[in-house]
Copies of this chain bind each other. A is one copy, B any other.
Amino acid sequence: MSEPPKPVRIGLLGRGNVGGAFAELLAERADAVEAATGRRPEISGVLTREDGDFGAILERSDLIVELMGGIDPARDFVLDAMRAGRPVVTANKQLLAQHGDELFAVAREAGVQLRFEAAVAAVIPIVRTIQESFGVTEISKVFGIVNGTTNFILSEMAASGASYEDVLAQAQDLGYAEADPSDDVSGADAAAKMAILARLAFHTPVTLAEVSYEGIEAIQPDDLAYAKELGLSLKLLGVAERREGGISVRVFPCFLYRGHPLAPIEGPFNAVMVEAPAINEVTMSGPGAGGLQTASAVLGDVVSILAGDAPVHETRVELPIVADVTSSFYLYLEVADQPGVLARVATVLGDNEVSVKSVVQRGLGDEARLVMVVHECLESRFATAVEALGRLGDLRAPPRSIHVIEEQF
């Protein structure tokens, strides 16, 4: 009689919200993991910031799950584990976004798997889809809503007309936003996720520092109200796309037309679209956070590692970041309500080859609001036009502008 297969010993780094949920889920699904892989998983040790010895845990583990977050000491632990021949599963988006080159190089040298589905959009299997289903597809664009906190805030602002500050406070009460929300609302969190997705989609080294981002702190209830009249809904989008000469990887608030697949995504949800000539477009949506959801993604990675080999991400080309790309824009102007203002504004736009798609003008006493959407143009050209508008004597406040994705359907 042969011995029963040995259990898989999993060393767990971090036992916060996600780490705790993972330990519970692993125990609950141990039978299913054994049925699927032939080996029963067990936690061989837990390292927290207060307690545990990494070297000792590594020694008695077959696989390391890193859920402590942050760069130090997570980076050293992950690198050491891989160098010691242990595959690693991590949910650490900052680590991947900032040190991807180093991590993947070490994984390849050591011949171990490094999996990180939970680092982007929790349980939505976007990492696996890009790496495996579309691993040899010429992806042209990956974009979507990759931060649930900001999507909740924008949905609530649109629904209630409340201010950014009030809705942020409400999101904090509900646990959708942290006490210090700056990482989410500034777009920095989404930028880290887009750095990871861009790297995978385009097989090119992208780091967080190369991703430009803009947050939602400056969004006004007015913008949302006028946008509604124009049939638009506002999302904080992460966009990674091929552009003439290289790629563009950015995060910015953006209006979407009704009918756009991302327009109906409301509340603390995430959704990501992948576009390629050979697939048209595929959209994936679901909860973008939550301890249990993130732990589920981690467990899926653990099972994949036990189930078989998979190649480690490798850079194939070095694509430059293209700084100036084309976009459509929403433009909000507070102007004096006098004859000729619209003509002067339109002239400035026309002189800069910025073409108007739609306009809403409304009088408010001796002022007026001029809200328009302009067709796609080079962003530098639009910026020049906005600067020139700012110099018009007619404006009562600096112009406000937000990206727009034109309707496609």
Contacts and interface: CB of A to CB of B under 8 A. Distances in A.
A136 B261 contact: no
Contact of A307 (B29, B134, B284, B310): B310
A264 interface: yes
Interface stretch (A216-224, A239-247, A295-303): A295-303
Contacts of A297: 133
Q: Which 4 pairs across A and B sit closest by C-beta, in order of nearness?
A: A308-B309, A282-B286, A32-B136, A125-B133
Interface stretch (A11-19, A48-56, A97-105, A273-281): A273-281
A36 interface: yes
A79 interface: no
13 contacts: A25-B278, A29-B136, A32-B138, A123-B133, A128-B129, A132-B303, A133-B297, A134-B296, A259-B264, A276-B296, A277-B292, A279-B293, A280-B286
B135 A36 contact: yes
Interface residues of A, number: 53
B25 A300 contact: no
A398 interface: no
B308 A280 contact: no
A174 interface: no
Contact of A35 (B29, B32, B128, B316): B316
A225 B402 CA distance: 38
B136 A33 contact: yes
A94 interface: no
B287 A284 contact: no
B285 A123 contact: no
Given A32-B138, A133-B128, A280-B293, A261 B285 contact: yes
A25 B277 CA distance: 11
A304 interface: yes
A283 B280 contact: no
A280 B261 CA distance: 20
A117 interface: yes
A129 B304 CA distance: 11
